[in-house]
Chains A and B, each alone.
Chain A
Amino acid sequence: MQTSADWRPSASMATLVQRAKLIQQIRQFFYARQVLEVETPALSHASVTDVHMRAFATTFHNPLAAKARSLYLQTSPEFAMKRLLCAGSGAIFQLSKAYRNEEAGRWHNPEFTMLEWYRPGFDHLQLMEEVADLVKPILFATAMAATELSATTIHSLSYQDAFLQVLALDPLSATLHDLREHCANLGYAELAAAECNKDVLLNLLFSQHIEPVISADAPCFVYHFPASQAALARISPHDPRVAERFELYYRGVELANGFHELSNAQEQRQRFIADNLQRQAMGLPTIALDENFLAALDAGLPPCAGVALGVDRLIMLALGFNNIAEVLSFSHQHA
């Protein structure tokens, strides 16, 4: 017998009861707004090209096929949900598990609960308002009366203003040299000297020095990320240096990431190809493009905004914890 076996849950039963109530509250929020709940596959034959994401892969031995094929656990339900939108679903939401390899820590579990939703006709700024409507009662219900709650707004800053305010650095005009110098002054001389990718240095400064400061006391939205970090967001028609992408942070924790969604199939394909070129340059395996997703965009994605929110993190913050394991039935160490 192994005496070190640890069968007990990571979270207390009281926390799991509160968790269940919050999940119910999230569903109610969308039912009340006539947003359709959907379920999409956890396993897909395709995955994401994002150079910083690694999917879990497995092998499907199909009893009706001669050859086994690779399947990937979804890092988010984004592609499948957009295919539903292209098929005319209208507004949809999903509460599901997302799976990300090589991610574990105080605020990361390799499988986690994600809330993802899409709003046809919304842009990113309208969706930010809806995100605020959802999270405010969850984060502040115990601390505030209903009237106070509705009067409370969540502060928002552009990515550029966040950098200017905290580091007096303009992220949109800074050169690689400027960023290296700034990183060196903050104690990252070695890392910065070896780094040729501006976005890596921006990620470093943002995650270590900006997120924790701007969201220390209250939640904070950041919008208009650099175009080089657009992911699946549209480039702003008003300023081609930025993408119509936003994030929500609270107490240094990244809670949500949203886009005014890119709907141009050609541009999407180009971004996937660019990711794969970068993967090659970094010595990473390239990823086969999700042709079903690209074909759906080609058929037409209605103009929409979408957002993914880390539910475990939201619950962690709502209940005053600082470790995601404290709100999970079983964290990956005990799974």
Chain B
Amino acid sequence: MANISTNEFKAGVKIMLDGEPCNILENEFVKPGKGQAFNRVRIRKLISGKVIEKTFKSGDTVETADVMDTDLAYLYTDGEFWHFMNNDTFEQIAADAKALGDNVKWLVENNLCTITLWNGTPIAVSPPNFVELEITETDPGVKGDTAGTGGKPATLSTGAVVRVPLFVQQGEVVRVDTRSGEYVSRAQK
């Protein structure tokens, strides 16, 4: 891979650090009037998800990481891998449980997910911001509660558990924000 210098570090640039691909979040220039200049950089490690601060001498170079995002449709899981397909080329790719992490609970067949590839291998999978899933289990709600103030836990078809208003019943399809894990509404019929 190519090397890039600290002055090319900007938000979104991907570099290698400690053998792990990282995303640059912020780059601050620090220089005494008389003395060495430094770049204090905030970095998200893409595999562990950890955000760290690292200081470089200005002008130092690091290796870039071959990281790209691609939108693929979720097909199915064989228990060990989750299979995705490029709808244009029909090329398929399999992501493992580590790449999926917690997001496995938001996978819906045929939904387009953003897959982050490092050297061609999936390291992260981001579901759409909103998904619609069926409630497979929830307590019967109290009649007359339309304000949805209290709420109750509901288990969805993927195993995800979200809080829903009391009036929402088992068997209904609900819309959920995958970023916060919060109920949004009943699905439009």
Is B120 at the interface (CB under 8 A from chain A)? no
Do residues B35 and A188 form an inter-chain contact, with CB atoms below 8 A? no
Residues of B within 8 A of A167 (CB): none
Do residues B36 and A257 form an inter-chain contact, with CB atoms below 8 A? no
Do residues A229 and B35 form an inter-chain contact, with CB atoms below 8 A? yes
Question: Contacting chain A: which of B23-31, B73-81, B84-92, B93-101?
Answer: B23-31
Q: Which of A52, A191, A208 contacts B30 (CB 8 A)?
A: A208
Is B144 at the interface (CB under 8 A from chain A)? no
Do residues B34 and A191 form an inter-chain contact, with CB atoms below 8 A? no
Do residues B55 and A191 form an inter-chain contact, with CB atoms below 8 A? yes
Residues of B within 8 A of A108 (CB): 29, 31
Q: Which chain A residue lies CB-closest to B34?
A: A231
Contacts A200-B57, A204-B55; A229 near B36 (Cβ below 8 A): no
Residues of B within 8 A of A195 (CB): 57
B18 to chain A, nearest CB (A): 9
Do residues B56 and A191 form an inter-chain contact, with CB atoms below 8 A? yes
Do residues B31 and A52 form an inter-chain contact, with CB atoms below 8 A? yes
Is B51 at the interface (CB under 8 A from chain A)? no
Residues of B within 8 A of A308 (CB): 33
Do residues B30 and A207 form an inter-chain contact, with CB atoms below 8 A? yes
Interface of A is mostly: mixed
Do residues B55 and A199 form an inter-chain contact, with CB atoms below 8 A? no
For window 46-78 of chain B, which residues contact chain A by CB distance below 8 Å? 53-58
A208 to chain B, nearest CB (A): 7
Is B183 at the interface (CB under 8 A from chain A)? no
Residues of A within 8 A of B32 (CB): 203, 206-207, 254
> What separation, in Å, do the CA atoms of A203 and B34 have in the docked complex?
9
Q: Which of B31, B35, B56 contacts A103 (CB 8 A)?
A: B31
Is A8 at the interface (CB under 8 A from chain B)? no
Residues of B within 8 A of A67 (CB): none
> What separation, in Å, do the CA atoms of A184 and B56 have in the docked complex?
13
A275 to chain B, nearest CB (A): 11
Residues of A within 8 A of B28 (CB): 105-106
Is B167 at the interface (CB under 8 A from chain A)? no
Residues of B within 8 A of A87 (CB): none
Residues of B within 8 A of A103 (CB): 29, 31, 37
Do residues A102 and B37 form an inter-chain contact, with CB atoms below 8 A? yes
Residues of B within 8 A of A172 (CB): none
Residues of A within 8 A of B83 (CB): none
Contacts A105-B28, A208-B55; A254 near B36 (Cβ below 8 A): no
For window 182-196 of chain A, which residues contact chain B by CB distance below 8 Å? 187-188, 191, 195
Is B40 at the interface (CB under 8 A from chain A)? yes
Q: Which of A52, A247, A254 contacts B37 (CB 8 A)?
A: A52
Residues of B within 8 A of A247 (CB): 33
Is A133 at the interface (CB under 8 A from chain B)? no
Is A104 at the interface (CB under 8 A from chain B)? yes
Is A50 at the interface (CB under 8 A from chain B)? yes
A251 to chain B, nearest CB (A): 14
* Chain B 1-41 per-residue mask, 1 if CB under 8 angstroms from chain A, else 0: 00000010000000000000000000011111111111010
Do residues A105 and B30 form an inter-chain contact, with CB atoms below 8 A? yes
Task: Give 6 nearest A-B pairs by CB, closest first.
Answer: A105-B29, A203-B35, A203-B36, A200-B36, A231-B34, A257-B33
List residues of chain B with CB under 8 Å of any chain A CB. Answer: 7, 28-38, 40, 53-58
| Chain A to chain B contacts (Cβ below 8 Å), 10 pairs | A52-B34, A102-B37, A105-B29, A106-B29, A188-B55, A203-B38, A206-B32, A207-B30, A207-B31, A257-B34
A199-B35, A207-B30 given; name 10 further pairs at CB < 8 Å. Answer: A52-B31, A105-B30, A108-B31, A187-B54, A187-B55, A191-B57, A203-B36, A203-B38, A207-B31, A308-B33
